[in-house]
Amino acid sequence: MADSSTPTTDALQPKEKTWRFNWVGKIGLLIILFWAIVALVGPVFAPYPPGEIVDWDFFGPMSSDYWLGTDYLGRDIFSRILMGARYTVGIALASVTLACALGVILGMVAAVAGGWFDMILSRLLDAFNGIPSLLFGLVVVAAVGSSIPVLILTLTAIYMPGSYRFARALAVNINTMDFVTVARARGERTAYLIVREIFPNILGPVLADLGLRFVFIVLVLSGLSFLGLGVQPPFADWGALVRENIEGLSLGAPAVIFPSIAIASLTISVNMFIDNLPTKIRDRSE
């Protein structure tokens, strides 16, 4: 008969790690997925064409025909919010993906390469990062003109230096670790060090940074649209919907309130998600 004090084979095995994800992060993720689905398929289910005047009573109230009322021209607000999701989410997602991809790649290369390449690139991007984001966006869009590619490239240029600085700081710390030193001593090339040793160890913070920059980009895009330099009529993102109807706030509050709620719900849910990213921890019974 086995001694009860002797640990069994199962007890000696390490406990499997599990993902812990609290309810706040889950709510944030659900809202993000909701708006992503709306951006993809929402306009297909819009009850009216987004740019068509459907009610001769401008700033019409909410009713069974117009769920969120109508705007200053008599267009259906619900349909325009569904359309605006595609521009707000799409432009912000494309911009943050480009900004973080370029910033992270350049940051890791600069950290590993060091020397004059790191110094020159860091100083140039630090100088560019000192320009106020909204002011830079206003100057570029006013000079070149507003279009979706221009907006994406402008927002990418605004937020890429910050992403570079963040990724470089993480990569510099990882680059001094023993396992990187051993890989370098084995004769591994720079590409191997970046892809196999550094990037997997900074992925978590980089994803959190990506989510935070997504929020900033949504707010800057909404600000440009509010000033009339974002998505141009007859199309509109959520910021443009607020700008279009702000003068009629006392007459048709839903035309301003609901696009504002859409912006707030998206940005807050992204913050909720990135602040509560799941972490892989060991079972409590370990």
Helix (H, G, I), strand (E, B) or coil at 64: coil
pLDDT of residue 19: 53
**Digit-coded pLDDT (tens) for 85-128:** 999 999 999 999 999 999 999 999 998 888 888 899 988 888 88
Domain range for residue 240?
Answer: 27-276
pLDDT of residue 10: 47
Give yes or no for a contact between 51 and 234, defined as CB atoms under 8 angstroms apart: yes
For the chain, residues with pLDDT lower than 70 are 1-21, 278-286
- The candidate with the shortest Cα–Cα distance to 205, out of 105, 277, 112, 118, is 277
Sequence-separated (6 or more) residues with CB below 8 Å from residue 159? 95, 96, 99, 100, 103, 133, 213, 216, 217
* 203: in domain: yes
pLDDT of residue 280: 46
**CATH code of the domain in which 152 resides:** 1.10.3720.10
* 5: in domain: no
* 7: in domain: no
* 285: in domain: no
pLDDT of residue 80: 92
* 220: in domain: yes
Q: What's the burial of 37, exposed, middle or buried (CB within 10 Å: 0-12/13-18/19+)?
A: exposed
**Number of structural domains the chain divides into:** 1
Task: Tokens 């790649």: give the residue.
Answer: 105
* 18: in domain: no
* 3: in domain: no
* 282: in domain: no
Euclidean distance between CA atoms 229 and 227, whole angstroms = 6
CA distances 135 to 87, 141, 232, Å, are 21, 10, 19
Residue 206 is encoded by which pair of tokens? Answer: 């980089």
pLDDT of residue 20: 63
Residue 179 is encoded by which pair of tokens? Answer: 């396992």
Give yes or no for a contact between 238 and 55, defined as CB atoms under 8 angstroms apart: no
Q: Which DSSP helix (H) or strand (E) runs through 20? A: strand 17-20
The angle that helices 77-113 and 238-245 make with each other, rounded to 10 degrees, is 130
pLDDT of residue 177: 87
Euclidean distance between CA atoms 98 and 8, whole angstroms = 52
Euclidean distance between CA atoms 266 and 38, whole angstroms = 12
